[in-house]
Structure 1
Amino acid sequence: MMLVNGRQQDDVAALDRGLLYGDGLFETIRFVDGAAPLWTRHMQRLAQGCGRLRLPAPDAALLLREARAATQGMADAVLRITLTRGVGARGYATPAAPQPTRIVAAFAMPEVAVAAYRDGVRLHLCETRLAVQPLLAGIKHLNRLEQVLARAEWNDPAIAEGLLCDLHGNAISATAANLFAVIDGVPVTPRVDRCGVAGVLRAELLAVLPQAQVRDLPLAECLAAGELFLSSSVRGILPVQAVGDRVFAPGPVARTMQAHWRGLGFPMEQA
């Protein structure tokens, strides 16, 4: 089901600023049996993004009612909330009194192979680099062209994701997941205050990994790590099996975080 401003439909105005300029935000939320274990973290990030873009923040209670309506009858669903600045006059100037467009849409959870959780996934090392823009870093704004171009770099079904670096050669993330490396036994995740997205599962893992470091992660150091894994609020914890020719094995930190993911209430085959 798809709701636009609370009404069941699947189209928006041609002059919506989300369509014209990518002027808006989105959240992708996993629902299991009508519950979203990471809902509060998603709402916190959405509110932060609204503040950054100077968008009127939607009512979280209203969003939850619409989310439950959209996912009704779905045992395992992916819900996307899209918020745009709405329709405006031609040009970049923002409307004096914006009327945001709110889209709540539910989709069936895509299948993730059991082997991906058990054995890990292969990554393509992307040539596309993430540009530095601190104002937009961390939030899930609608402009995802960097990720689109990065994802277009491979079509091998054996490769599940791509590893993205910034312009300075630091590893940042996958195209649709955050990155963790374990270096000398210490979990490290790249800082995302200059580019990249501050994932809600990343935030959850940082809360339960007090020893974790958030810092620059040069690509060479990343590829020399003892273990790598991805975190995604939809797919959970995916160990990295290989980045190009560099081979890894699922490690104890990834396994512990997979157990934490299951403990939150998300289904996952035993790794």
Structure 2
Amino acid sequence: MAVPGLRMLVDGVAASSVSATDRGLGYGDGLFETIRFRAADAPLWPRHMRRLRESCARLHLPPPDEAVLLGEARTVIAGLAQSVVRITVTRGSGARGYAPPPDARPTRIVAGFALPMLNADDYRHGVRVRLCRLRLAEQPLLAGMKHLNRLEQVLARAEWDDPAVAEGLLCDGHDRVIGATMANLFAVVDGVLVTPALDRCGIAGVARAEILSAQPAARVRELKLGELAQASELFLSSSVRGILPVRELDGRPCAAGPVAHALQLHWRGLGFPMEAE
């Protein structure tokens, strides 16, 4: 099925499909990055590339040429004032079976999309979030990476269809908070900015990394579900959506606070405007 407005390059050639023997399709054997652009620039590009390089090393994948990726990204978003680029790198095609081919030739997919609508009211007052029933499995060898197997997130997102709920909160099997289906979570607990440790599962987002760099006093630690009721602020971070305060968690009201609003100013300073601008 054609996707309206989609522009895609596969290994540098305009195309809309990959081989049925590609290991990304067959086994989820690969990685992806979702990068927000303003015109031809992506302020968080270095962070995305760092995570991609490190993840490729962990999966024993040859890393793609970053200059080639940037050129292809600019090609697929040409003419768009604000856009999102998804870069997918798979191990390429291979014979049946899990064993990685010794002479892997990775597949490189670069797709461009217009930036989705962003609601200015969500940034001022926050979004509604629910707790998902699904619990994330622990796998330290994959923790932090943005690998292609997103079935947990697919099943979690299928738990609700209420358009008033913007996100679903995810925990592991020990009720440790990990993040949201498409974002990382931050909480202000006893005056300290905290974000969950992601050494067992979850995705270490580039927006999360930017916040931790801007807020050196922030703590990365285990965050139990019960602590959220004591937090003075909750907010989400996403490389596409930016900093979103949480106004309600499972019916319990929260308030958009000064830490989230200060980080929104930092985000704007990076070159990411709010929808109202």
Name the TM-score, length of structure 2 as normaliser.
0.96
1:36 counterpart residue number: 42
Distance in 2 between residues matched to 1:238 and 1:87, nearest whole Å: 39
> What is the correspondence of 1:18-29 to structure 2 with a 5 Å cutoff?
18-29=24-35
* Contact 1:151–1:175, Cα closer than 8 Å, also in 2: yes
Once residues 176 and 96 of structure 1 are traced to their aligned partners in structure 2, the CA distance between those partners, rounded to angstroms, is 34
Contact 2:119 2:275 in 1 (8 A): no
Separation in 2, partners of 1:50, 1:210: 27
The number of equivalent residue pairs is 271
Dislocated runs of 4+, deviation >3 Å: none
Matched residue, 2:240: 234
CA–CA separation in structure 1 for the residues paired with 2:54 and 2:188 = 29
Please report how far the alpha carbon of residue 270 of structure 1 lies from its aligned counterpart in structure 2 after TM superposition.
6.2
Q: Residue type of the partner of 1:162?
A: G
Partner amino acid, structure 1, of 2:18:
V
Aligned equivalents of 2:180 and 2:14: distance in 1?
33
Counterpart of 1:222, as a letter, is: L
Give 1:223 deviation, angstroms: 2.7
Whether the 8 Å contact between 1:117 and 1:269 is mirrored in structure 2 is no
1:245 Cα deviation from its structure 2 partner:
1.8
Partner amino acid, structure 2, of 1:176: M
Percent identity reads 65
CA distance in 2, matches of 1:264, 1:229: 19
**Alignment of structure 1 residues 1-271 onto 2, 5 Å:** 1-269=7-275
Give 1:269 shift.
4.2
Query: What stretches of structure 1 of length at least 5 have no aligned partner?
Result: none
Q: Distance in 2 between matches of 1:118 and 1:73?
A: 29
2-side partners of 1:225 and 1:21: how far apart? 40
CA contact (8 A) 1:74 1:108 kept: yes
Alignment partners' CA distance in 2, 1:165 and 1:26: 23
Q: What letter corresponds to residue 114 of structure 2 in structure 1?
A: A
Unpaired stretches in structure 2, ≥5 consecutive residues: 1-6
Structure 1 vs Structure 2 CA RMSD: 1.0
Say if 1:201 and 1:232, in contact at 8 Å, map to a contact too. yes
